[in-house]
Chains A and B, each alone.
Chain A
Amino acid sequence: MAKSKVIPHHDVPLDQIIKPENIIFKKTKLFTDNVLSYCPGCGHGVAHRLILEVIEEMGIADKVIGIAPVGCSVLAYEFMDLDMQEAAHGRAPALATGIKRTNPDKFVFSYQGDGDLAAIGTAETIHAANRGENITVIFINNGIYGMTGGQMAPTTLEGMKTSTTPYGRDPRQMGHPIKITELVAQLPGTCYVTRQAVHTAALVRKAKKAIRRAFEYQKANKGLSFVEIVSNCNSGWKMTPVQAIKWLEENMLPYYPLGDLKDVGLD
């Protein structure tokens, strides 16, 4: 981020600023007291927070059912003070289908990583989207299997080194990185498909608006809303968090460009 040349200055003592009435940002109450189990700098924490803030702002906390995946966020139910259900690996959209069809008045979202959604759960993802199930899918894409030790995922970039591709991903052997969000956007059952990121403050604000819109679509019964969040895995990428977000901007974003891929309109 470009540093501003003019550094502001104020002389207000800290004890006059740090008062409860002056709070403009604090942790949402929908977080439990548990410390997040993610590595330092992991984008999962921001994604969790944005979902919880949207749910809190919409006032639907008692109507939401979340589906936790298999992957790093397998313990999402430990951190989100919501009704949550754990799904078998990749099967979150199938489970969400069942929950939403039996409880059509609830808001159902699945929270899945790229190994979960784009590999073992490809069939469930694509068919739930094709059926136009009225659910929201939050897809965290960090291009690697984080939890199991940094193995290649379908979304791993060409030439990217992982523990199972130590010489870099070779598309002749391992295929090309899959743009599952573009695939899902083609299906008539989806109403809102977007790709966001959460590594800068401006992008966090945009991502929050996108998640809000996805839940609004679910409220309007328009079909499946799909939010991809391009995120970092500094442990799997073998980088510091600050290096990882720089690498993400230089390598992930050119292949996974941000923005709305589909937006049929809420009216």
Chain B
Amino acid sequence: MAKIAGAVVVDIDRCKGCELCVNECPFDVLAMSEDVNIKGYHYSYMKNPSACTGCLACALVCPDTVITVYRVKVPDTAKS
């Protein structure tokens, strides 16, 4: 059980589908959608959200800053 839980929110309409975030994510949280956004790009989404630690790797390499990152500490009492 991880002590830190993270999540990202992708601004879908601004994502240009470059896949750099998917490439950079150390835990394979992100993947490219099958759908396309308003500009016709496949956009990045959280395929495996339970593995996200909010490490910022995706957000730091995103050229269009479409990723907002959230992180919380998981209380010790929480058990899966």
Total of A-B residue pairs, C-beta within 8 Å? 126
Number of interface residues of B (CB under 8 A): 45
Q: Which residues of B contact A9 (CB under 8 A)?
A: 1-2, 50-51, 80
Q: Are B9 and A18 in contact (CB under 8 A)?
A: yes
Closest residue of chain B to A199, judged by CB?
B61
Q: Which of B5, B14, B26 contacts A17 (CB 8 A)?
A: B5
Interfacial residues of chain B within 16-42, with CB under 8 A of chain A in the complex: 16-20, 23-24, 26-28, 41
With known contacts A3-B26, A17-B71, A11–B80 Cβ distance under 8 A: yes
With known contacts A16-B72, A17-B6, A24-B71, A31–B18 Cβ distance under 8 A: no
Residues of chain A at the chain B interface (Cβ within 8 Å): 1, 3-4, 7-12, 14, 16-19, 22-28, 31, 35-36, 38-46, 49, 198-201, 204-205, 240-242, 245
Given contacts A9-B2, A24-B69, A40-B41, 18 further A-B contacts (CB under 8 A): A7-B27, A8-B27, A9-B50, A9-B51, A12-B5, A12-B78, A18-B70, A22-B72, A25-B60, A25-B69, A40-B16, A41-B19, A45-B62, A49-B65, A200-B24, A201-B57, A201-B61, A241-B19
